[in-house]
């Protein structure tokens, strides 16, 4: 079958790879000149297979005032005229209950573990360099109450095969000695030795290079997808800036932009873009390298993640519901810099400007939009249109869930049984 995969972010690229492996002919299309240049570009770099609890959580009900009104809140809501934001928010609040969180966590853990297996398989069959490393992950809790509720989550997840330890401050410092320079303290943490890191953009480009060696694959870069061309309830072709592209079936994977294309085909998607930011600190001398962590760190109180990619430290955070505003305010980048200064002060080196600030440009400030469903469960598989398949809505976990989502999609398209139950990921009108 000839499949056309729309979007060469990590979701589209892994879908294309998996479909090619199944013997299909694949055309991959993206507006950017290279793969992985959308939200997959500067993300937090964490392959967070055991840390999948959704954003929609019952604690939102007791913390909403802090999230919405506090100056140091990691979350921003800027009301938009569009009704999509309000519809999404209402569904999101509806998902903030213990029963939904439990079923979402179980579904995502299964998908994440499947993803890890698929990633291991992919790495055995290809030779892509993307700073991949099983670094372990340490989530820091600032108070004893938070740590106690983390213990309950660790116990719950243990029955699904997660190997995690709840540890005290002293053990945190043993696991990640770079935390010894931190200018604040915390109650303890949850350590997961099996978690990994990797540069998602490098992975996407490497995987496309690998696929280029297969004559059944072609990549149409710098090609904007404009709309579906419908014929008798099916997609006959997609209209692009390079003309019409025909295929037997289409996979929609253009991240949070998928909503408009789906709407043009008559399919409604419950997706909203959740904006976030990152910086990448170059660790270009021995002292900054020593001061930066080797283990992935999540500072839960500030909702900032830190991942070491060779001699770079990727730092990411914030969740903003602000529509499609692509600006990068100095305040957001300042928060990430301040986070680094507090936890790993020496890693920023001495290259400050005349005001003593780390010049922002050397930190590659970046913003991206997590394509999020209200519950946090992605949509993978068939759509109401006969020859349109969906692989979207991986939200804050797209890098982690990509290889597993691609395998579930390929099974659906190929008509064979997926290694995990795909029921939680099916499109629901």
Q: Does 112 bind ligand FAD (CB under 6 A)?
A: no
User: 245 has which bridge partners?
Assistant: 238
Which of 3, 5, 8, 138 forms a contact with ligand FAD (CB under 6 A)? 8
Which of 3, 7, 265, 382 forms a contact with ligand FAD (CB under 6 A)? 7
Q: Does 44 bind ligand FAD (CB under 6 A)?
A: yes
8 A C-beta contact, residue 82 and residue 135: no
| Smallest separation (angstroms) from ligand FAD to the CB of 399 | 3
Which of 108, 211, 253, 411 forms a contact with ligand FAD (CB under 6 A)? 253
Query: Contact letters (x/-) for ligand FAD, 61-100, by CB under 6 A?
Result: ----------------------------------------
- In this chain, which stretch among 18-26, 183-191, 287-295, 392-400 interacts with ligand FAD, using CB under 6 A? 392-400
Q: Does 30 bind ligand FAD (CB under 6 A)?
A: yes
Smaller CB distance to ligand FAD: residue 11 or 179? Answer: 11
State whether residue 116 is helix, strand or coil: helix
Could you give the angle at which helices 200-212 and 10-21 cross, rounded to 10 degrees? 30
Query: Contact letters (x/-) for ligand FAD, 317-356, by CB under 6 A?
Result: ----------------------------------------
Q: Does 270 bind ligand FAD (CB under 6 A)?
A: no
Q: Which of 319, 364, 74, 347 is nearest to 201 (CA)?
A: 364
Smaller CB distance to ligand FAD: residue 146 or 368? Answer: 368
Neighbours of 403 (CB within 10 A): 27
Q: Which of 392, 405, 422 is nearest to 38 (CA)?
A: 392
Q: How far apart are CA 201 and CA 357, in angstroms?
A: 28
Smaller CB distance to ligand FAD: residue 97 or 266? Answer: 266
Query: Contact letters (x/-) for ligand FAD, 293-312, by CB under 6 A?
Result: ------------x-------
- In this chain, which stretch among 44-52, 123-131, 208-216, 421-429 interacts with ligand FAD, using CB under 6 A? 44-52
Q: Does 40 bind ligand FAD (CB under 6 A)?
A: yes
Residue located via tokens 């934001």? 85
Q: Which residues contact 115 (CB under 8 A, 6 or more apart)?
A: 49, 400, 401, 402, 403, 404, 405, 407
Smaller CB distance to ligand FAD: residue 184 or 326? Answer: 326
| Smallest separation (angstroms) from ligand FAD to the CB of 145 | 26
Query: Contact letters (x/-) for ligand FAD, 206-235, by CB under 6 A?
Result: ------------------xx----------
Which of 57, 257, 358, 422 forms a contact with ligand FAD (CB under 6 A)? 257
Instruction: Classify residue 189 as left (phi > 0), alpha (psi -120 to 50) or beta.
Output: beta
For the chain, how long is the longest CA-to-CA vector?
Answer: 66
Neighbours of 118 (CB within 10 A): 22
User: 5 has which bridge partners?
Assistant: 28, 251
Residue located via tokens 């995502």? 108
State whether residue 358 is helix, strand or coil: strand
DSSP class per residue in 173-241:
HHH-GGGGG-SS--SEEEEETT-EE--HHHHHHHHHHHHHTSTTEEEE-S--EEEEEEETTEEEEEEET
Q: How far apart, in Å, are the Cα atoms of 175 and each of 139, 171, 294?
A: 12, 6, 9
Where on the chain is the footprint of ligand FAD (CB under 6 A)? 7-12, 29-32, 37-40, 43-46, 48, 224-225, 253-255, 257, 276-278, 305, 316, 368, 370-371, 392, 394-400
């Amino acid at each position: 079958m000839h499949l056309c995969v729309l979007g060469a972010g990590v979701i589209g690229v892994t879908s294309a790879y998996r479909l090619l492996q199944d013997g299909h002919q694949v055309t991959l299309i993206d507006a950017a000149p290279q793969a992985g240049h959308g939200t997959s570009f500067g993300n937090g770099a964490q392959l967070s297979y055991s840390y999948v609890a959704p954003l929609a959580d019952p604690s939102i009900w007791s913390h909403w005032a802090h999230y919405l009104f506090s100056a140091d809140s990691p979350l921003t809501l800027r009301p938009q005229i569009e009704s999509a934001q309000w519809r999404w928010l209402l569904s999101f609040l509806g998902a903030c209950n213990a029963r939904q969180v439990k079923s979402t966590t179980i579904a995502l853990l299964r998908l994440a573990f499947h993803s890890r297996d698929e990633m291991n398989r992919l790495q055995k069959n290809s030779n892509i360099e993307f700073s991949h490393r099983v670094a372990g992950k340490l989530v820091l809790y600032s108070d004893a109450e938070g740590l106690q509720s983390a213990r309950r989550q660790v116990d719950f997840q243990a029955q699904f095969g997660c190997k995690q330890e709840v540890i005290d401050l002293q053990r945190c410092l043993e696991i990640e000695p770079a935390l010894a320079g931190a200018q604040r303290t915390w109650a303890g943490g949850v350590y997961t030795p099996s978690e990994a890191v990797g540069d998602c953009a490098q992975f996407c480009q490497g995987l496309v290079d690998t696929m280029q060696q297969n004559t059944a694959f072609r990549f149409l870069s710098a090609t904007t997808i404009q709309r579906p061309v419908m014929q008798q309830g099916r997609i006959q072709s997609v209209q692009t800036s390079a003309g019409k592209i025909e295929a037997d079936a289409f996979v929609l994977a253009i991240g949070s932009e998928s909503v408009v294309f789906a709407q043009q085909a008559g399919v409604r998607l419950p997706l909203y873009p959740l904006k976030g930011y990152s910086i990448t600190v170059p660790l270009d001398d021995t002292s900054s390298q020593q001061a930066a962590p080797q283990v992935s760190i999540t500072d839960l109180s500030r909702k900032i993640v830190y991942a070491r990619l060779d001699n770079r430290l990727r730092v990411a955070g914030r969740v903003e519901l602000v529509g499609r505003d692509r600006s990068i305010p100095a305040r957001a980048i300042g928060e990430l810099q301040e986070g680094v200064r507090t936890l790993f002060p020496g890693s920023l080196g001495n290259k400050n400007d005349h005001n003593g600030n780390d010049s922002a440009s050397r930190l590659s400030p970046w913003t991206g939009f997590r394509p999020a469903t209200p519950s946090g469960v992605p949509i993978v598989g068939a759509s109401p249109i006969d020859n349109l398949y969906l692989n979207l809505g991986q939200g804050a976990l797209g890098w982690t869930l990509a290889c597993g989502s691609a395998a579930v999609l390929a099974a659906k398209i190929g008509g064979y049984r997926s290694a995990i139950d795909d029921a939680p990921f099916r499109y629901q009108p």
